[in-house]
Every structure is written in structure tokens, then in C-alpha cells.
Structure 1
Amino acid sequence: MTASDSFEGHDPLGLILIILAALVIVPTLAVYGFSTLARQGIRHSGTRVVLRGFAALAAGAAVAVYAWGVVQLALMVGPEQSSACQDAVGGARAASIDRYEGSYLPLQLNCHVPDDGMYSADVIPGYVNPGALGLVLTAAVLAVSSGLAPERRTGGINSAKEASG
């Protein structure tokens, strides 16, 4: 294993599968979230429905942000990867880099220098990991809250018909 091999830190098939999965998951969650909110309108839907719709949108956004980081990582090949690692470890230790190690959680590329440890290369935008984490936590809180919220309607088409009939 040498530092000049491309994708040494991350499996290229794994990166491609994550990107392909995100291409399906993000639009699915977006359509579900928006259709849930639009079915009767936010003002006329119960609290559970609104929370569930926003949970789906937050989850979709989390997947999209994470996938964007994966795309940035997948574009780092050969010379770009080596250059990022050299910048991370500094000029004096750049020649000593012996391998790359990838991490999916948090998403990052690490460069190993013998007897000096691991250095994280700045190949993933700084907002990706905290942004994805924040959106995942938001989605989880909204999803749990939708399960705990009381089911009540604040109006809508059906309740207007019942009141007039």
C-alpha cells in the first residue's frame, strides 16, 4: 500500500454506492416530505403530519449534505490526494507519508506518517460533517416528536364539511 495509489483511503465502489443511494433517497424523502405537508396544507394538518413532513425533509437534506462530501472525496484522486495530504502534514514530513486511511463517520481522509500519527487532509468542506449531523439530529427529534404529538386536526376540508353538514 503506497501513498500514490488513488482512492487508497476509501473504497471507490463504496463511494459510488453511497452516491447512487443518495440519488434515490434524497428525491424520495423530498417528495414524501413535501407531499405530506401539501396534502391538506400546513395550517390545516395536524401536528403529527407537519412534524413527519419536516422530519422527512431534514433527513433528505442530511443525506444530500453527506453525499456532497462523498462526491468531493471521490473527486480526490492521485495527485490531488497526495497534495492534500502533503499540505496537511507539512513540508518536512510530506515525504514520510506511507498510507491514506479513510473514514466514513466522520467523513474524512487521513494521512499516516510513521512515528508521528494521523493527519486529517482538508478535502471535505468544513460544513459537511457538522451539517449532516445537525440535520440527522433534527430529523430524529422531529420524527420522535411526531410519534408523541397528539393527533388532532385544526380544520381542513373534511372538518369544514362536517361542520356545515
Structure 2
Amino acid sequence: MVDTWDSWQSASDPWQGHDVGGLLVALFAGATTLMALTVYLFSRLAPQNLQRYTPTRALRDVPLLALAVATALYLWGLLLVLLTEDQEQAQECELRRPGDVPSLVGRRGDFFPLRVVCEGSNGHDYNVVVPDYITPAHAALLTVALLCAAGSAVLHRRRLVAADGAPGPVSR
């Protein structure tokens, strides 16, 4: 029996793409996360919440907004990969092959960072399908989220210490 690309792929197959089941799970989890973040962030826009906005609360919500945008970007990349069939990915690999790559020896799909990598016979790898802006934008948004969350924690801690009147552990 001869195995074909359509019927079977082993873990060592050099022409692997993303697993469709993995893509669907990631899309579902990402869409659910994005909906939850969007609902929460829109709830923060209610007039009673806007009146009580403080720098600490703003620095709490900015990371959530950054995470929502990062999740949307990742979902966009996942959709592009899901909607691009294996044959189209192979054609894209061939079309975007740099001149110094004599031939293609494989293709693989990575989830982190999200990309479809074409592997050349000379060891040169290059990305196709997923736009080049997704990974750097994702990294920048996650960095902003982390810095703002840390800033929010510092401001919250200062407020608690100032309300307590004495430095040290805060008891509730």
C-alpha cells in the first residue's frame, strides 16, 4: 500500500502543515476569548463606570484591550491558514522561493509564532501565507499588555499603602 499526502501524514513527514483539528480548536478558543474580552471592555464604557475611572483602572483595561487586539490578529492569521489549502500553500512556497534556494524540501506549520514555513534544500527557511506584520504586532501588543498590567499593579499597591498609612503588607 502506498501512502499519499491526502490519506496520511507521519510526524516525520517534511511536508506537514497545520493540523486542521488544532486550527479549529485554536479558532474556537480564540473567538471565545475575544468575545469575553470585548463584552467586558464594552461594559467598562457604561456611564457609571466611566465616572469612576482612575489611572489604576485605565492601566487595568489597556492590557485587556491590547490582549483583545492581539487575539483578533492571531485569529486573522489562523483564518488565513485554515482557508488556504495545502496545494495553495505549496504554490505560495514555490512562488515566493528566493533565488538562492535551489529547491524545496519541506513545509511545516507553527502555532507560536503563527507561520507556514517553507524549507529550502540549502537550509534557508521562509514564511508564506501568514502576513509578516502579525508576529511583530502580536509581540508588541503583548509587551504593552504586560507593562500596563505591571503599572496597574504598582499604582494599586501605592494606593493601598497610602490608604493604610504605613508601608508593609496590606491586610484586609
Indicate the TM-score class for this superposition, using the shorter chain for normalisation: 0.7 to 0.9
Identity %: 29
Say whether the 8 Å CA contact 1:72–1:123 is kept in structure 2: yes
Q: Deviations over 1:5-51 (max 9, x none)?
A: 69822221111111111110001112222323536344532222121
Say whether the 8 Å CA contact 1:62–1:136 is kept in structure 2: yes
Number of equivalenced pairs? 149
Q: Can you give the 5+ residue segments of structure 2 that lack an aligned partner in the other structure? A: 10-14, 161-172
CA distance in 1, matches of 2:98, 2:69: 35
2:27 equivalent in structure 1: 19
Q: Under a length normalisation based on structure 1, what TM-score does the superposition of the two structures give? A: 0.76
Indicate which of 91, 95, 120 corresponds to 1:113. 120
1:103 equivalent in structure 2: 110
CA distance in 2, matches of 1:23, 1:33: 15
The alpha-carbon deviation at position 84 of structure 1 amounts to: 0.8
Distance 1:49 1:93, change over 3 A: closer
**Tell me, what secondary structure is at the counterpart of 1:105?**
coil
1:140 equivalent in structure 2: 146
2:170 equivalent in structure 1: none
**Tell me, what secondary structure is at the counterpart of 2:130?**
coil
CA RMSD of aligned residues (A): 2.8
Q: Can you give the 5+ residue segments of structure 1 that lack an aligned partner in the other structure? A: 153-165
Query: Which deviates the most, 128-137 or 40-49?
Result: 40-49
**Tell me, what secondary structure is at the counterpart of 1:117?**
coil
CA distance in 2, matches of 1:87, 1:60: 33
Q: 2:56 matched to 1:69? A: no
The alpha-carbon deviation at position 60 of structure 1 amounts to: 1.0
CA distance in 1, matches of 2:91, 2:128: 10
Segments of 4+ moved more than 6 angstroms: none
CA distance in 2, matches of 1:91, 1:56: 43
